[in-house]
Amino acid sequence: MSILVDQNTKVIVQGITGRDGSFHTEQMLGYGTRIVGGVTPGKGGQTVCGVPVFNTVAEAKKKTGADTAVIYVPAPFAKDAIFEDIQAGMSLIICITEGIPILDIVEVMRALEGRPCLPAGRPCLPAGRQTRFIGPNCPGVISPGKAKVGIMPGSIHQPGPVGVISRSGTLTYEVVYNLTRSNMGQSTCVGLGGDPITGMRFTDALEMFMRDEETQGIVMVGEIGGGDEQTAAEFIKKEGTKPVVGFIAGRTAPAGKRMGHAGAIISSGETTAEAKRQVLQEAGVTVVDFPDDIPAALKKKLR
Amino acid sequence: MAATLEEAVQIALGIGYPVVLKSQVLVGGRGKAGGIKKAEDRGSLEKAFRELKALRIKGYPVEKVLIVRAVNIQKEFYVGMTVDYVKNDVVLMASSAGGVDIEETARENPEAIKKYYLRGSHRPGGKEWHSFIQDVFPAPSYQKKAAAVFQNLINVFFAYDCSLAEINPLVVDEAGEMCAADAKINFDDNALFRHEDIRKMQDARYEDSDELKAREHGLSFVKLDGNVGCIVNGAGLAMATMDVIKLLGGRPANFLDVGGSSNPEKVLHALRIILNNKEVKVVLMNIFGGITRCDDIAKGILEAGKRMDISVPLVVRLIGTNEPQAKEILAQNKINTYSTMREAVEKAVALAKR
């Protein structure tokens, strides 16, 4: 078991003919991911790395039976790409694209809740259907040994019992690298993304990992800005059934300055790294100082 | 808007005294800094204008002064609009306690600020909407006017991809007329690609020149007050690197994310910006190759060494995609590399203390 993606996940790549899209399609195929199609409007009929390209998501889904979409299209076109997935009824959408306007994402979130934005009048999710949306501005999701849907380097991962959830890209690689070096493999690693609004948040991923049989322990990598770590702490306190180790980046970040990620900004006392460390500790999470302390801390809790 | 005394006199003549002069600077707290003055006649206008032009507000010069009709304020409200990141929604905010202390009100008495969530609609209405308006504007004569103000605010917010739009104070004068006495708008940087007109209004003088230069080269940079310069790929890892420097007894000089691309030029620009800071005693590079290829970073370091004088020691940690090639390139040029973040940071901190 693992969460979100595995060897049976059928993936289409939106923006497959672009520089990033084609490079990562090759990488994902090399990892063993079932990439069944790609979408670039106007380029239907071509192939990229042997994968057929379609003009629309609806067509790609119909011809390939795909259930998951990964998005590499540039920010100005990302909203339309996401809406295409919602309309076609994809069950998982993973948006890698960085720099999407926040009001575009607000519109997407409304549609995912089944309430379209007006007066734009875009379609929304049909009643009774659930679509999971991960990102934007995220590295994607990998279930080691099964499937990689995103941009993370596959080689640092190893199958195993640790679930990893993070708001960051390379910091997650750092954490995973340390886990693998300590022979602690991962069930699934989920990159939530560095934007202030993301589809999946810590609590959603925690809930899935708590239910997943293969996952024995969870690592959460948070950072300054927003209140998701606090919400996660409340969830862990009430419903946590597995040990959690945490790391929060940005203890030395100055207030009021955006630290690379659109969402990483200290706007009030609750959004500092220290405040987040404290609430997580109060919820029973072991919060470490150094990323390379994570494996030992988790081992201790799993014993 | 007046840049010269002649213009100011002309504008005031057109409006009629008394007028209010407002310094145009892109920072908050202008009123408290003495940037707003009232003039009853031409004499006091000239005096006020000269005083404002000589003023520096939070370090910024006053180049233009807005001159408006003086309003006999009967009541001050606050109205604003922003994105609620927790509820994934756009929210309208209003308070009958408008004025300069709204931030304090928000902190100490948050119930005094009423909220209304748009839930996807651009035209509010219904029971909840009416109770929101009635809560803040109990006088029936204000309610219709306030609703119109909100509708205009909503239109502007969506048309220009704002992240914050607020009118504070929204005032009512003795004739019962409502008018915006001051306003502030923040725009979403990510949406500037579809608002060329807004992008053109950006004033470089209000931004740190290093941060601006960094952005031009696709880097994300924030200056800090330490002496260990850092170049890292990825925002999360860059923050974690700063934190680890501090925990191991050093002081980070900056946050710098070179981004995910493999362009060797970026390393050169990053080094230039960091070495611009004379406090920096060592530069630590922490690269976790994913999309970024380590050998491209290594080439960037060598290229930078040829094109500029790197006067401080470099401590390089490279791992991930094409790591062996990168280490070989650097070893040939007698640059030591480290495999773990902790080792590299320890080394950099020690060098900064020499």
B320 interaction partners in chain A (CB closer than 8 Å): 153, 156, 173
Of B89, B122, B291, the CB nearest to A151: B291
For tokens 């309309």, the residue is A87
Distance, in Å, from the CA atom of B105 to the CA atom of B156, rounded to the nearest integer, reads: 26
Domain stop point among B69, B90, B111: B69
B346 shares a domain with B229: yes
| pLDDT tens digit sequence for A13-53 | 999 999 889 999 999 999 999 999 999 999 999 999 999 99
Cα B147 off chain centre by: 30
Distance, in Å, from the CA atom of B348 to the CA atom of B354, rounded to the nearest integer, reads: 10
Chain A touched by B195 (CB under 8 Å): no
Helix, strand or coil, per DSSP, at residue A71: strand
**Confidence tier at B262 by pLDDT (50, 70, 90):** low
Closest CA to A251 of A285, A290, A293: A290
Burial of B159 from C-beta contacts in 10 A (0-12 / 13-18 / 19+): exposed
Question: What's the longest Cα–Cα distance across chain A?
Answer: 56
Asked whether B11 and B67 are in contact (CB, 8 A), the reply is yes
Of A152, A252, A262, the CB nearest to B243: A252
Amino acid at A162: V
B344 shares a domain with B222: yes
Q: What is the pLDDT of residue B263?
A: 77
CA dist B305 → B253, B272, B348 (Å): 21, 11, 19
Tell which A residues from 93 to 132 touch B, by Cβ distance under 8 Å: 99-107, 109-110, 115-119
- Give yes or no on whether A10-134 and A152-302 have one common fold: yes
Structural domain count, chain B: 3
Q: What is the pLDDT of residue A270?
A: 87
Distance, in Å, from the CA atom of B172 to the CA atom of B12, rounded to the nearest integer, reads: 22
Kindly list the domain boundaries of chain A, sorted by start residue: 10-134, 152-302
Window from A67-71, B43-47, B107-111 with minimum mean pLDDT? B107-111
Q: Which of the following is catalytic: A24, A34, A261, A277?
A: A261
| pLDDT tens digit sequence for A139-159 | 999 999 999 999 999 999 999
B245 shares a domain with B196: no
Can you give the pTM of this predicted structure?
A: 0.93
Q: Chain A residue closest to B193 (CA)?
A: A76
Cα A188 off chain centre by: 10
Q: With a cut of 80, say whether residue B106 has pLDDT above it.
A: no
Q: What is the pLDDT of residue A44?
A: 94
Chain A touched by B230 (CB under 8 Å): no
B87 shares a domain with B177: yes
B222 shares a domain with B179: no
Q: What is the pLDDT of residue A128?
A: 61
CB-side exposure of A73: number of CA atoms within 13 Å?
21
- CA B268 to chain A, closest CA, distance in angstroms equals 19
Closest CA to A302 of A179, A152, A208: A179
Distance, in Å, from the CA atom of B34 to the CA atom of A235, rounded to the nearest integer, reads: 48
Q: Residue B48: in which H helix or E strand, if any? A: helix B42-53
Q: What is the pLDDT of residue A120?
A: 54
Q: Chain B residue closest to A110 (CA)?
A: B120
Q: Which residues on adjacent β-strands are paired with residue A48?
A: A51
Q: Chain B residue closest to A254 (CA)?
A: B224
Q: CATH number of the domain that B125 lies in?
A: 3.30.470.20
Q: Residue B230: in which H helix or E strand, if any? A: strand B228-232
**Confidence tier at B208 by pLDDT (50, 70, 90):** confident
Q: Which domain holds residue B196?
A: 73-200
Q: Between these two residues, B321 and A88, which has the higher pLDDT value?
A: A88
Contact between B252 and A252 using a beta-carbon 8 Å cutoff: yes
- CA B181 to chain A, closest CA, distance in angstroms equals 26
Closest CA to B38 of B5, B15, B69, B4: B69
Domain stop point among B26, B49, B69: B69
Q: What is the pLDDT of residue A122?
A: 60
| Pairing assessment for the beta strands A140-143 and A147-150 based on DSSP bridges | antiparallel
- Provide CB contacts within 8 A for B22, sequence distance 6+: B30, B35, B36, B65, B66, B67, B68, B182
Contact between B120 and A169 using a beta-carbon 8 Å cutoff: no
B65 shares a domain with B77: no
Q: With a cut of 90, say whether residue B160 has pLDDT above it.
A: yes
B82 shares a domain with B191: yes
Helix, strand or coil, per DSSP, at residue A25: helix
Q: At what angle do helices B140-159 and B127-136 cross, to 10 degrees?
A: 110
Q: With a cut of 60, say whether residue B68 has pLDDT above it.
A: yes
Tell which A residues from 216 to 245 touch B, by Cβ distance under 8 Å: 221, 223-224, 226-227, 231
Tokens of A64: 């390939």
Domain stop point among B147, B178, B200: B200
Contact between A194 and B193 using a beta-carbon 8 Å cutoff: no
B189 shares a domain with B94: yes
Chain B touched by A173 (CB under 8 Å): yes
Of B86, B191, B236, the CB nearest to A223: B236
- CA B151 to chain A, closest CA, distance in angstroms equals 14
Contact between A101 and B191 using a beta-carbon 8 Å cutoff: yes
CATH level 2 (architecture), domain A152-302: 3-Layer(aba) Sandwich (3.40)
Low-confidence ranges of chain A (pLDDT < 50): 119
Strand extents, DSSP E, A135-279? 140-143, 147-150, 159-166, 186-191, 217-223, 244-249
With b for 16 or more beta-carbon neighbours within 10 A and e for fewer, the A111-127 pattern comes to bbeeebbeeeebebbee
Asked whether B44 and B137 are in contact (CB, 8 A), the reply is no
ipTM surpassing 0.90: yes
B121 interaction partners in chain A (CB closer than 8 Å): 117-118
CATH number of A10-134: 3.40.50.720
Chain A touched by B289 (CB under 8 Å): yes
B141 shares a domain with B46: no
Chain A touched by B321 (CB under 8 Å): yes
B44 shares a domain with B12: yes
Contact between B235 and A264 using a beta-carbon 8 Å cutoff: yes
Contact between A174 and B288 using a beta-carbon 8 Å cutoff: yes
**Confidence tier at B59 by pLDDT (50, 70, 90):** confident
In whole numbers, what is the pLDDT of chain A averaged over residues? 93
Asked whether A63 and A76 are in contact (CB, 8 A), the reply is no
Pinpoint the alpha helices (H) of B248-340: 264-275, 294-307, 323-332
Of A109, A167, A289, the CB nearest to B236: A167
| pLDDT tens digit sequence for B121-150 | 888 989 999 999 999 998 898 999 999 999
